A and B are shown apart, each in its own frame.
Chain A
Amino acid sequence: MTNAIKYRVFAVPNEAVGAKNILASEVGTKLGSQGTGYALTYTGLASEIGQQDGSPNYLEASDSANTAICSNTITSFLYIRNTGNVFSSAQKLGVNSEYYLKILAGSSVISILRPNEAIILKDDNSNIDCSGIYVRTVDTDGTESSSLSHLAVEYFVVSNGTSLGDFEDGLDDWTNDTFVNFAVNNTEPIAGKGDLGVDNIYLETGFEDKVLHFIVYQPNPLSILEATPGISGTYALEAGLPLGSKSSIRSAVLPTAIKFESGVPIKFSFWGRLKFSASGCNYGGSAWLQVYNSYTNATEAIKGDWTAVSGRVASNYDAYINPSVYAITPDFDSDNEASNQYFEFVFTPSETKDGYLFIRINNASGVACSWATSLIVDNILIGGGVKYCYREYELTSGKTYGIQFIGKVDDSTEPYEFWIGQANKSAGFNFGANISVAAETATQYNREFTCNSTGTGYLWIKSNVEISKGNFDNFIIKERV
């Protein structure tokens, strides 16, 4: 069965004959219809769907500007009603109001509703753009005025996946529901603890055996250390950040804390490479990547054993294990890697403790180095506050995939954006069109794109916000059929 919205519209044209209304003779019939809209899910932000946990989430219709119903750009079903009440809060109606509710599509008026009147729009292909459907409180003659009390609008917005067609579950090895709720409690970076002060998160029941992938990515690798030449000491990448202006980064790259349990192995894999911008900064010399198991360098390391699973690991990788920090050093067999390489390790803790896994760059020689990598963390209890997340499965060239997620950024100082796209393991990253977002918003995004290569890969979302400030929630991917 499919989530469905049964809907009905009905009209009776009347004409006045004396003091009575009779069925309008020119029309001679009642008009009506019934149909069905479809919803991929009813899960999402209350502000996007308009209903949550059995209660409405009212929208305030300004009288001085048009207010978009929500930011869902691929709506399959839309219901808008003038509640007949003044807006008090998203959860509470105010006093009665007689004002009318103007509804516009772009700049075109499509309805002006009296109290308790409603309209319904629908498109199974989810091509209704609610960010272009506006409401506005107007006077009863339709005139605009900025002195009116604002109406509370009841609305209901759902999407049927992405913009075309129905979807089959392309993620059989993921979950039938194909989504997981991630944590929402992100905090500011914690000084000295990897700039990753993200709360521990939980997984919903039923996801215990699922593989979660989170990717941390340095989108502008050349800026990080070239912008700070001559640095010395040990430096770690603050993954995912445009770090050109940061000169003292020692952060871990894994975005959230992990609960290490003694004897329970954690797979830790990543794509990475070293790319050097000056001589002397090389694998054989003084710069290398290290995989750590704590959010600080050495003093809070979690004891355990590392094992290389796959990927290029030097036969002598043990030589790079620093017992004091319980780290493993991947092998990079040339000074300037032409492309990212895949590494995969397993860390088996010998103690139970919360901590982090991270990759850092050690540049003891003080020679400027650049690094481009992505980090994949696998099979761990993890979530929340990530800057990247993805789902892995077989991508097929020419097929179209849809992505739905809720994104939020909290910092108003920069113009933040989300991207979606695909990453083939062998083809690198290929992000699609960006989605501009305003800070301080939590919005449900729905996008689709067509895959351009076949193979095991990923569908991604990423943001240019700091990991600890980003938030992805309800990440859903579907393959279009």
Chain B
Amino acid sequence: MATIDNTVQYAVSCTPTEAPDVEHGTVSNILATEVGKSLGGSGTALAEEYNGTAAVQGYLDAAANYRMAPDGAGEEVAISSESAASFVFIKHSGYAITSDNASTLGDACARSLKVTTNAGAIILSILDAGEAIILKDDNGTIDTSGIEVETVDNDGTETGSLAHIAVEYLVVNNTD
């Protein structure tokens, strides 16, 4: 019998739209003519096992382990300690949380989630509520201890002592 691997199938897509100029009233956005199409890609990340801890993996026993993204300048925290990740999913849950590695969400939170690397120096994304990014490498060279998250204001300002975003994430590796 043929054997198959544990995998994470994934896809990303985007549709650039533009607002056409009209003389009267407004009309809906149209597909951006400079691009002329939707863009996307899909693939498969290899996952050896889903046997990490909840804190490392982000999910365990079919339950999410939310990471609390602190706020304030320089308060970035690593999304995980996995140093050989093959797949990374990071999502702004849309909710606040009051403790790290918790499973219960708090109130809705409209602040933004900053995702960085290089100790916060390089911005990968700033996500609004409900938004997510995916990173992947079948060879498992993504060091998630260097992928940080932080709660920021919508304009990216690192205001401290406000609500902290609950981060939904999934980090898997391709090694035993």
Question: A residues within 8 Å of B by Cβ?
Answer: 1-16, 18-21, 24-29, 31-37, 39, 42-43, 49, 51-55, 77, 79, 81-82, 100, 105-114, 116-125, 127-129, 132, 141-142, 154, 156, 158, 164-165, 176
Contact = CB atoms under 8 A, between A and B. Distances in A.
A167 to B, nearest CB: 12
Nearest to B153: A125
B74 interface: no
A112 B138 contact: yes
Interface in B131-176: 131-139, 141-143, 146-147, 154-156, 168, 170, 172
B124 A105 contact: yes
B160 to A, nearest CB: 18
Given A5-B14, A42-B18, 12 more contacts: A9-B12, A13-B7, A16-B3, A16-B6, A19-B1, A27-B59, A33-B130, A106-B118, A113-B41, A124-B154, A125-B155, A142-B137
Contacts of B138: 100, 112, 114, 142
A302 B41 CA distance: 61
A123 B39 contact: no
A2 B141 CA distance: 38
B131 A111 contact: no
Contacts of B125: 121-123, 128
B28 to A, nearest CB: 7
A226 B139 CA distance: 64
A132 B63 CA distance: 36
A55 B126 CA distance: 28
Interface string B1-31: 1111111111111111111010000111100
Given A54-B37, A111-B142, A123 B12 contact: no
B32 interface: yes
Contact of A12 (B10, B27, B40, B172): B10
B126 A120 contact: no
| Max chain A C-beta neighbours (<10 A), residue from B16, B62, B87, B147 | B16
A120 B156 contact: no
Contact of A13 (B3, B8, B14): B8
A402 B77 CA distance: 31
A24 B126 contact: no
B2 A81 contact: no
Contacts of B61: 26, 28
B50 to A, nearest CB: 4
B128 to A, nearest CB: 6
B142 A31 contact: no
A77 B6 CA distance: 31
Contact of A121 (B2, B47, B60, B133): B133
Contact of B134 (A9, A79, A108, A122): A9
8 A-B pairs with least C-beta separation? A28-B62, A118-B41, A54-B36, A1-B19, A35-B131, A117-B43, A142-B139, A26-B50
A10 to B, nearest CB: 5
Nearest to A21: B4
Contacts of B2: 19
A10 B14 contact: no
A127 B43 CA distance: 28
| Max chain B C-beta neighbours (<10 A), residue from A11, A28, A35, A100 | A11
Given A5-B16, A37-B14, A29 B43 contact: no
B127 interface: yes
| Max chain B C-beta neighbours (<10 A), residue from A1, A4, A82 | A1
A112 B13 contact: no
Contact of A123 (B91, B126, B134, B141): B126
6 contacts: A1-B27, A19-B2, A31-B132, A113-B43, A116-B42, A121-B133
Given A11-B9, A112-B141, A51 B126 contact: no
A6 B132 contact: no
A162 to B, nearest CB: 12
Nearest to B92: A33
Contacts of B8: 11-14
A44 to B, nearest CB: 9
Contacts of B168: 31
Contact of A112 (B1, B60, B136): B136
A4 B128 CA distance: 14
B39 A111 contact: no
B17 A124 contact: no
B21 to A, nearest CB: 8
A13 B50 CA distance: 9
A77 B16 CA distance: 10
Nearest to A77: B14
A10 B118 contact: no
